[in-house]
Amino acid sequence: MKWTLSASQDFAPLKKSCKQQHPDTELSEIPAELLKCHGREKESEKEKQQIIGGCNQTCSAVTSAFPLPPMLCSLDQSCPALFSSSNIWIAGCSRFCLCWLLSFTCSLGMKLFPEQWSAEGVRQSDFPEQEMPATVMPGSPVQLNSVTLESEHPQSVSQPQPAFQIEPVTPDPAPSQSRETWGGKYEFLLSCIGYCVGLGNVWRFPYLCYRNGGGVFLIPYFIMLLFTGLPLFLLELSLGQYGAAGPITVWKCCPLLKGIGVGMLLVSSLVSLYYNVIIAWTFYYLGMSFQSPLPWSCNAPQNAPLCQNASGNASRFSASEAFWNEQVLGVTHSSGLHDPGPVRWPLAICLLVAWIVIFLCMLKGIRSSGKVVYFTATFPYLVLTVLIIRGATLEGSIEGVRFYLSSDWSRLQSAQVWNDAASQIFYSLGIGFGGLLSMASYNKFDNNVIRDTLVIAIGNCCTSFFAGFAIFSILGHMAWRKRVPVGEVADSGPGLAFVAYPEALALLPASAFWSVLFFLMMFTLGVDTLFGNMEGITTAVLDEFPALREWRRKTLFLGALCFIFYLLGLLLITEGGIYWFTLIDAYSTSFGLIIITLFMCIGIAFFYGVNQFCRDIVDMICRCPPWCSKLVLYFKACWVFITPCLLLFILIYIFLEMYNTSLHYGAYAYPRWGKALGVCMGTVTCIQIPLWALVAICRESGTLTDRFRKAIHPLNSWRTAPTHAEVIDVPYTINLVDSDFASPPQGSSEA
């Protein structure tokens, strides 16, 4: 006789009986969503039998010697498996507990994987040091979580019963959707390259080169790449791939440092907030580029007075500057942070279009964005090549290239040069934002992260150097046309992308074509980087709340997220929005980001264990070439000593520079309250580390030392990726004792 649980039965009397026998046991209701159909369909649909659990199992250990419980069981062909997502319902009688334990052997007690199930039942290899029992007798004492469960109806059984069987069946799917993976390794490589190769490669690196000694700047640049960029890049990729989790959930490896993931989430949110404003500006310029003549060129009728005055040195602004400040930003109508003014509605429409594009590209997760990057990650290289070829044919281009590569060896003695090199490596590779960690979490477990690190990081830095030739060859022609030194037309940041370079494009034949090409490149550069930032945000949230992975919920979540960012971004496209843009840009990725990566490096090296982390990397690279093993030793030295020291140097320099210099946008100097607001912005991102560390310590028990040790110890759910199998994960463990597998002497009876 076999029993099964009927979904329509009343459990209250049984719970009351169990509570009387086990007063220290916490009982809870069985969630209705955990009920899954089981067994044959009954004649009456109202009495359809249901079962909770990960395996379809039968139990032949229970005989007719036990009376049928009136409220708990009904006659059928199967045995129930009971558990709750928050508490395990402990039955009060041995006949029911024994069936429960046997049916859960595959999913809880033994942690068997689906491929280990067989039609003959549990294999002999699954029970080391003891034989598989031939018979299982009811009434044996059973321990569940170190609590002995006694039988309510002790009986004597004179005949052995057949061994229990575990029938093979595919586990029921989880309520939430499973994690996605990249469609191919090239999607991951292109996504990372697109994420790293951003606007900073075009508008910041060339400027830093000529400001810090030209070609000499490459020396500290590549030194910082070797000792800061590559180690941190590999650390973030390896952590994400091994843990197969986002920036927050991945810190199961060291719960004390969960605040690092929360800080990454906040940094990515701040960057995404203002980064799409750049894409909105790009959309605006792209739309204006389909006019002839270009509205920022001297050939445009409205710019004729400006260009005539410029020839007589009577005008403060060029035509491109006037277009940027008056028609695009409207900053001439604002007096500072305290005076944002009305929203610029043409920019508001462009910003809305930009967020709709991001929403549509990310709607299906990496499956959709992974296909988009085939275009967005490769198109900028095509445009840069075309611009270099075109620039090389222009008059004065060689002067621009010479200015770009001029060498001033005395600049190596300046601390600012080394800080600029480190910061450019840091921000260009996108370390500490959570985007790299999130994208790597969708990799296959055996992906070669060391190879990917070298390809992506070195490719990114070479792209920066390559882009400098395209920029300065055309700026050299611009200086030749205006008969001024190249240094007077060179600029950094938005000033280069939206003032100097558009003006240079306006001087070329077929200027509208080159302008469309350039701003398409700017759009693809910005979108790829924003993909990475948004992926870091969505992955962090979806891993913490897996129920949101269901397609409709994910669509609503992503739509709400983009809409909230759009509303917050409206402040940045007001007439005084450029002042807020500069403030967020200056402080959101400043000292807070350096502190986050510093603790990430220290936490992995000293809390999680650098030796363990190196073994994890080798485990992932199944066929590890000899050169990979040697590189692991190099990275190990960087994580323990070199990289933390360089990060401390950058952090100290940032604090000194922040104290000694004031923030400006053009002639406008930011007030103290504005600077204090920026410092608070950076503080909010890094203060998450001590706050969440305090939470982790308070959750543990024991002395302060014991709590700290427990808080840095990986959780049991960490390191699930190496199994390559679907594990039915529940938060409880059943402790099986020898008596569960040994048959008592015939004729004996146990309570």
For 596-626, write each residue's pLDDT tens digit: 999 999 999 999 999 999 999 988 887 767 7
256: burial class by Cβ within 10 Å (0-12, 13-18, 19+)?
buried
Residue 274: inside a domain: yes
Amino acid at 652: I
Return the sign of the alpha-carbon dihedral for residues 135, 139, 144, 147: negative
Q: Is the separation of the CB atoms in 79 and 59 below 8 Å?
A: yes
Residue 386 assigned ligand-binding role: no
Residue 558: inside a domain: yes
Q: Is the separation of the CB atoms in 450 and 233 below 8 Å?
A: no
pLDDT of residue 55: 39
The residue whose two tokens read 């029911």 is: 96
Tokens of 403: 């200015």
125: burial class by Cβ within 10 Å (0-12, 13-18, 19+)?
exposed
CA 492 to chain centre: 29
Domain span at 195: 185-301+318-698
Name beta bridge partners: 669. Answer: 664
Domain holding 668: CATH number? 1.20.1740
252: helix, strand or coil: helix
**3-class SS letters over 243-308:** HCCCCCHHHHHCHHHHHHHHHHHHHHHHHHHHHHHHHHHHHHHHHHCCCCCCCCCCCCHHHHHHHH
The residue whose two tokens read 């700290």 is: 708
pLDDT of residue 725: 42
Whether 350 has a pLDDT exceeding 80, the answer reads yes
E strand or H helix that includes residue 3: strand 2-5
3-state percent breakdown (helix, strand, coil) of the chain, nearest 5:
60, 5, 35
* 426-447 mean pLDDT: 89
The tally of domains found in the chain comes to: 1
Residue 197 assigned ligand-binding role: yes
Whether 280 has a pLDDT exceeding 90, the answer reads yes
Residue 452 assigned ligand-binding role: no
Whether 160 has a pLDDT exceeding 50, the answer reads no
* 358-381 mean pLDDT: 82
* 199-210 mean pLDDT: 84
Residue 282: inside a domain: yes
Q: Is the separation of the CB atoms in 606 and 430 below 8 Å?
A: no
Please tell me the least confidently modeled range out of 162-166, 554-558, 559-563, 689-693. Answer: 162-166
Amino acid at 25: T
- Determine how β-strand 142-144 pairs with β-strand 147-149: antiparallel
**Cα(593)–Cα(265) distance, integer angstroms:** 11
Whether 341 has a pLDDT exceeding 60, the answer reads yes
Residue 715: inside a domain: no
Whether 675 has a pLDDT exceeding 80, the answer reads yes
- Chain-wide mean pLDDT for the chain? 75
Q: What's the N-to-C CA distance of the chain in angstroms?
A: 21
Q: What is the DSSP letter of 120?
A: T
Residue 203: inside a domain: yes
Residue 137: inside a domain: no
* 472-483 mean pLDDT: 86
For 306-331, write each residue's pLDDT tens digit: 776 555 544 456 788 889 999 999 99
Q: Whole-model pTM?
A: 0.71
Q: Cis before residue 293, ω within 30 degrees of 0?
A: yes
Name beta bridge partners: 663. Answer: none
Q: Where is mean pLDDT largest: 196-205, 653-662, 680-689?
A: 680-689
Q: Is the separation of the CB atoms in 551 and 318 below 8 Å?
A: no
**Cα(678)–Cα(658) distance, integer angstroms:** 11
**Cα(647)–Cα(240) distance, integer angstroms:** 21
DSSP characters over 176-223: SPPPP--SSHHHHHHHHHHHHS-HHHHHTHHHHHHHTTBGGGHHHHHH
Torsions phi, psi for 668 (to 5 deg): -85, 125
Residue 428 assigned ligand-binding role: yes
Residue 460 assigned ligand-binding role: yes
**20 — pLDDT class (breaks 50, 70, 90):** low
Residue 50: inside a domain: no
Q: 87 vs 698, which has greater pLDDT?
A: 698
Residue 139: inside a domain: no
Residue 525 assigned ligand-binding role: yes
Amino acid at 404: Y
Q: Where is mean pLDDT largest: 228-242, 363-377, 468-482?
A: 228-242
